[in-house]
A and B are shown apart, each in its own frame.
Chain A
Amino acid sequence: MLKRALAIITLLIIGYWLAQGLAGVPFGEDRMLVGQYYLDHVKEQTGAVNAVTAVVVNYRGFDTLGEVTVLFIASTGVGALLWRRKKERTAKTEGSIVLTTGTRLLVPFVMLFGAYIFIHGHLTPGGGFPGGATIATAFLLLYMAFIVYEIPHKAFEKVEGAVGMTYVIVGLIGLAIGGYFLYDWIWQDWQWGAENIGRLFSGGFIPVIYTIIGLKVGTELSGIIDNMVKEEVSE
């Protein structure tokens, strides 16, 4: 009781203090130093219609590379901590026929939609992370509906590593061609898709990077699910 009361009082004090700080932030006023620049120049400089993806992949691509790495670490970490010499699925009850049939029908659509999201990252809301998560959802469905389903690990691990390397290689090609790491050579040097803004084949290297991220996120999250639903079996 005393503990709880103290905790509440402390939280109130912290909340008040934060509110004091927030009160000093001018909400609703024009505070967009850098933001305005992005909005004004996004089309001519990156070829993307979706300003958010242009900022995330192009202007601040370094952060996205970092976020992809964070996810990679999470999946690797889970893999390292749950590593056992022999692991198997130990689910006991098969899903009902409605569930399994429904899954069979749904999975291709979910995957298709996931791919749609990441391919259209420069045009519509979304991008590599939601697209990849959607694809992982398809695998989650398979795991939940079938007691023996397993993703092809070897292939998934290799894809995960290979697409991650491709991301860095795209950046390094930028370093070789344009002199800067993560330089958008497809747009800046080749002007590829310059008359095509707003259509699928445009946006410089954003669709390329988002495809990479989509595949990476999809395989990584599926790998995490796989690691977590399996249990050790004694030989």
Chain B
Amino acid sequence: MNGQYASLLIALPLISAFFVPLIKGAGKKAVKYYLVLITALQTGIAAWVFQQVYTSGKPIIVMAGAWRPPVGINLYIGHFAALFVFIVALVSFLMAVFSVRAIQVEPIDKYAMLFLLLMLGATGMIATGDIFNLFVFMEITAISAYALTAYNKTGEAAEASLKYIVLGGIGSSFFLIGIALIYGSLGTLNMAQIAQLAGGMNATVAQVGLALIVFGLAVEAELFPLNAWAPDAYQAAPHPITAMFSAFVVKAGIYAMARLLYLMQAVGSWHSVLKLLVVLATLTVIVAELAALRQKNVKRMIAYSSIAQIGLIALAFALGTQSGVDAAVFHMVNHAIVKGMLFLAVGYVAMSLGGAELENFRGLGKRMPLMAFGISVGAVATVGIPLFNIFWSKIRIILATLDVGYTWAAVLVLTASVVEAVYYFRLLHVIWFQGEGTKTDENIAIGLMVLFLATLVIVIGIYPDYAWNIAQKAGADIFNVADYIKNVPLMGVGA
């Protein structure tokens, strides 16, 4: 089949979101099952694209409007994008199923539209090959995220959303100024052509432009000084949306940051921007882990832990080496699975027991063994115990960090992991060894999803080679810029 059909990844969620107002008369149930159906279709398309890219070894270049880049906009679905578009679709599908039970607040039709557009935005951010188009998709993601954060219409949710909007607005403006600087200096917006021309760029312009872009994306990517919105938003957003934030919205932001950074490797001031990012990332890990230690609300605690993991990914991306990028991608995959599962299980518990306070989790092992099992696997995996998936990616990140010579960063990050172990084991203690209770019914569909994700965690933990292979290919896609340029069929405009 023609590779251009990969553009359905963008077209399908869009047209389905526009279709929702026409079927909202059919009732709440219909809208929810419609959402499940569309995300299932999207997963199917994404699986096809994944299979295409990984069997042929060649990226799919979608050219919108048949214009060759850099005149037109192209999507670059290489190894990384194919993998992550698939993860985005899969997580969205699971969360759509979860939404059938979890979302009772009206208006459900608007929820369905925003949900689909959040998925669309993340897919576009990961797939696009044009820097301004990246901005547009980032806005789609961010604005649907603002609306979804406030969806529960509590005071807390409104406050969280307001914080997010203000920070996000400032971040996007920085990002836009960065784009303007780069465009002003190079005269092109296409990522491949930017990479081609980056070597001849004025060093100061490049440094200012890149730093602005890093700062702009840091809001979406939850890096330290700009992530104050995240814990509030995670706590206040509807449960399925929290899982989506953690599993792929952040990842899209951090990927965009990494992609742009590596495209501009040839720039003279590149290493100083990397150093800035290493500092930010290390600070993110430490601050988030220490903040998580004191939380009484489990959802908020896991939100902080999620931020800390993102800091680890950012650290690995900031190393500037092949092994660091590979490790970061591997960690992104693992973290998406684990945090998807954790937020799913915690969300379900909070939904059934009326809140995610630590007290509610007392004796959960006896009351909801399946959910307790899911949370335990997730907790143990996040800490990085051998035989679970995150162990492998964490150790690779640490090794890559030591390779480059950032011993201080490695030591600090490892220390933070110890803090992480403390609060996760406290949670496990509360779940299994405190409180009493009788078994209550658990929803079968949600139980199956948790089991499926837990199996993934353990299978990757025991046989990491296959997943590591995929991650290496995806990492090469980001690191190896020469190949990236070669794969985009640039027409010789102005070159």
Contact = CB atoms under 8 A, between A and B. Distances in A.
Contacts of A62: 64-65, 72-73, 130, 133
Interface string A70-94: 1011101101110101000000000
Contacts of B42: none
B15 A34 contact: no
Given A26-B185, A63-B136, A65-B14, A33 B494 contact: yes
Nearest to A37: B493
B18 A179 contact: no
A174 to B, nearest CB: 7
Interface stretch (A2-10, A13-21, A132-140): A13-21
A83 B106 contact: yes
Contacts of B137: 66
Interface in A37-81: 37-38, 58-63, 65-67, 69-70, 72-74, 76-77, 79-81
B187 A31 contact: yes
Contacts, number: 196
A207 interface: no
Interface string B139-166: 1100110110011010000100000000
Given A60-B72, A70-B136, A79-B110, A34 B494 contact: yes
Interface in B306-339: none
A110 to B, nearest CB: 26
Nearest to B20: A161
A146 interface: no
A168 interface: yes
B456 interface: no
Contacts of B147: 73, 76-77, 80-81
A70 B22 contact: no
Contact of B65 (A58, A66, A76, A161): A58
Given A72-B17, A180-B63, A33 B186 contact: yes
A226 interface: no
A130 B184 CA distance: 26
Interface stretch (B29-37, B113-121, B247-255, B386-394): B113-121
Residue in B5, B65, B143 with the greatest tally of chain A CB atoms within 10 Å: B65
B411 interface: no
Nearest to A21: B208
Residue in A25, A67, A157 with the greatest tally of chain B CB atoms within 10 Å: A25
B258 to A, nearest CB: 22
A17 B178 CA distance: 13
Interface residues of B, number: 69
A33 B187 contact: yes
A164 B21 CA distance: 11
Interface size class, chain A: 35 or more
A21 B66 contact: no
Interface in A72-128: 72-74, 76-77, 79-81, 83, 85
Contacts of B21: 157-158, 160-161
Interface stretch (B199-207, B219-227, B349-357, B373-381): B199-207
A38 B71 contact: yes
B11 A181 contact: yes
B357 to A, nearest CB: 26
A1 interface: no
A165 B204 contact: no
A108 B207 CA distance: 53
B189 interface: yes
Dominant SS among interface residues on chain A: helix
Contacts of A66: 124, 133, 136-137, 139-140
Interface in A166-210: 168-169, 171-172, 174-175, 178-184, 188
B347 interface: no
A85 B371 CA distance: 35
A48 to B, nearest CB: 13
B114 A183 contact: no
Given A22-B181, A70-B136, A172 B494 contact: no
B452 interface: no
Nearest to A168: B15
A157 B157 CA distance: 26
A24 interface: yes
A184 B65 contact: yes
A37 B2 contact: no
Given A33-B70, A34-B187, A34-B493, A21 B140 contact: no
Contact of B70 (A34, A72, A158): A34
Contact of A24 (B133, B144, B202): B202
Contacts of B495: 33
B133 A34 contact: no
Given A73-B144, A162-B22, A179 B71 contact: no
Interface of B: 2, 4-5, 7, 10-11, 14-15, 17-22, 24, 62-67, 70-73, 106-107, 110-111, 113-114, 117, 120, 124, 130, 132-133, 136-137, 139-140, 143-144, 146-147, 150-151, 153, 158, 177, 181, 184-190, 193, 202-205, 207-209, 493-495
Given A63-B133, A69-B140, 14 more contacts: A23-B204, A24-B185, A33-B495, A34-B188, A61-B65, A62-B130, A67-B136, A70-B143, A73-B113, A79-B110, A85-B106, A158-B21, A180-B4, A180-B64
7 contacts: A60-B73, A66-B136, A72-B17, A72-B117, A79-B107, A81-B150, A180-B64
